[in-house]
Structures are given as structure tokens and as C-alpha cells.
Amino acid sequence: MEIAKLYLQNFRNYKNEKIQFSSGINVLQGQNGQGKTNILEAIYYLLTGKSYRVRKEQELIFWGENAFHIFGDFLAYERRLSLESHYLDKRKIVKINHVPCKKLSDFVGTINVVFFSPDDLIMVKGGPAERRRFLDLHITQLNSRHVHLLNDYNKVLHQKAALLKSSIQTSKVSNIEIWNEQLLDLGSKIIRNRWRFTQIIAKKSKEIYYQLSSGEEELSINYLALGHQDVEEALHEFPILLEEKMKQEIERQMILVGPHRDDLNFQLNGKSARIYASQGQQRSIVLSLKLAELEVIYQEKGEYPLLLLDDVLSELDIFRREYLLEFIQPIRQALITMTSAEKPSTEIASLFQVDKGHIGRIN
């Protein structure tokens, strides 16, 4: 999968910009604050419907404007695809080959993408929400129905939370039971999806990390559903916990049970990576995860995803940098941002200079 052309209108610091990329490795070079990362963010947003940097689309609009547009021409499975994303008046419109999509789930996964930046260390050292977000974003690329599950589950969560905070006590228990039935149904499916994906990504990540550590360390990744590593045990306990925690939920006016509280557990040689791993080890964990994602998508889809690397080479030591560059040689296309003129030790298809919201091709 690759992107051939990108057109940005009123996105971040780009007023009107057209970029034509090449197959292979494309390097975007420039000083900090010039807009290199914004280009990768635009592509990621176009393909996933989400920014990995901000929660509100309003923050993505060029200063003084009220809308942004992103257009991209892509190649996948020997087909050309035109994707569009428009944001205006708090409404998002997405199109495939100029035909509007009724739902975002019809759009997500059309072109697969893996994004890697130094900020991804938060997956290891941050809170559970970051790790759940990682799981869900990449499951949706492989299984668009997961988007529906998440949306429906979050709607039920919102309704149950509103009921718990309401002052109306009459029939509150029976109404909570109704919402719990829906949480159980939707939540169980989410748990199974996350567990299956974790099993796949964990095996590949373990192999890659073993090589990165020269066979000295072992990475293990487990999905903790309702506090359990065993998915069947978790699903068995789910309805029991919903019943047992009901009184406490009413008293505290908050939802205490469900996959919205689940986590991923990273361990190195049996110890918590979040607590005991060094920064270098945490970086190797994230690198292993991202490279494993490439392989998982390739195995599932038969074609490598588009790879976006945001200033990661400067964050890696020589061994890991060379490992990364060698690993990605088979993929169809990668876009790499760099702050200096130093080129990676591999063949570059195209080199671009980014300066104050404008991009020009050097070779």
C-alpha cells in the first residue's frame, strides 16, 4: 500500500499544498515546527478518521478558517483509490472514489497504516487508556466491525453513567440491569477481539524483541480483561461482577465494570516493563510492537501497510536504527521525518524539504 499524492487545504499550518510521493522511502527533512509531523498526521487522519495528537478536529484547522480538507490518491492491491476527508461545522464527511461513506467504519481499513513516533513510549509508561487506544485503533484496521462495537458500547456506557448520576431512584436498579445486559453483550465481543489481536501481536513482538536484545531478554504481553489474563475466566466473571458491583456503582455514581477499564501488561523477564524497564528497553518494546504490526497486517491482508515514521531514527541507537531500516526494506512505501540533513543508511526514493508550511522536492 502506498500514497501517490496528497493535497492539504487549511490543515494545521498548510493553506494549500500538493505533494507527490514515490514508492520506497520518502524522507521529509526540516527544522522543528515547520510542519513535517503535520503531513504524517494528515495522512493518518485521512486513513483512520482520528488524529493521534489531539482529540478535537477543531484544533486541526488552519488559523482563521472554519474547515479543512484532505485528499489522497493511493495504490493498494494493484488498484488506485481516491480518499477524501472533510471537516466543516463539527461534521466529518469521508469519501472513497468521490462517493460519500455513510459510516466511518465503511472507510477505515481501506488503506492500512502503521505510525511510529517517540511519543509512543506512552504506551508502556502511560495509563491503561493509551494501551486500550493502541489495541482498538489497530483492530479496526483489520476488522471494521470493531468500530461499531466500540461506538455502541460507548453509547450504552453514556446512558448508564447518566442514570447512575440522576437523582431519580425509582426503578433505578431495574434500569441499570437493562443497560448491564447490553454492556455484557457488547463488552464480551470487544474483549474477545482485543484478546485475539493481543495473542497475535504478542507472539510476533516477542520474536522481534528477542533479536533486539541479542537473546538476553524476553518480552511478554498479556491482555488483562476485567483483571484476568484468561479470557474465558474473564467472560465467565463478567455478569457476576456486574451484579456484585451494582450497589457500589449506585453509591459512587460511576461504572466500575467493563472492558473500558481493561489493560495491556508488558513484562520483561517476568517483571513489569512500566515500572522496571529503562527508557531504552521501553523504546525497544514499542519498536517491537510497531514492527509486529507491519507483519500482522501483511499476514492478514497480503500487502504491507503504509509506514509513517516521525523523527524516530534520532531516538534509536545505531543497532536498533539499522535493524529498523533493514526490517522495512520489503515494504512498499515509508515516509520518514528528520530534523537534519543526515540521511538514513539506505536507498532513498525521494527527499523533501519542509519549511514554514511548504514542502519542496529535492531529488
Give residues with Cβ within 8 angstroms of 73, minimum separation 6: 3, 4, 5, 80, 81, 82
35 marked as binding residue: yes
Q: How many angstroms separate the CA atoms of 164 and 173, rounded?
A: 10
The answer to whether the annotation marks 9 as part of a ligand binding site is no
CA–CA separation, 43 and 6 (whole Å): 8
357 is in an annotated binding site: no
Element spanning 129, H or E: helix 128-142
Given a contact cutoff of 8 angstroms between Cβ atoms, the answer to whether 112 and 42 are in contact is no
Contact by Cβ (8 Å): 128, 121: no
- Residue 34 labelled as part of a binding site: yes
Query: Among 350, 255, 355, which Cα is nearest to 26's?
Result: 350
**If you search the block for the grid coordinates 537534519, which residue do you land on?**
340
Q: Which amino acid is at 232?
A: E
Q: What is the dihedral of CA 26, 32, 36, 37, to 10 degrees?
A: 110
CB distance 38 to 333 below 8 Å: no
φ and ψ of 248, to 5 deg: -65, -35
CA distances from 337 to 170, 291, 311, 342 (A): 58, 18, 5, 11
Q: Which residues pair with 86 in a beta bridge?
A: 69, 93
Phi then psi for residue 63, to 5 deg, are -55, 130
> Does residue 58 have a known ligand-binding role?
no
Cell 431512584 locates to 169
Residue 30 annotated as binding site? yes
Beta-carbon contacts of residue 221 (< 8 Å; ≥ 6 apart)? 198, 201, 202, 205, 206, 264, 265, 266, 267
3-state secondary structure at position 116: strand
Binding residue ranges for ATP: 30-37
Binding residue ranges: 30-37
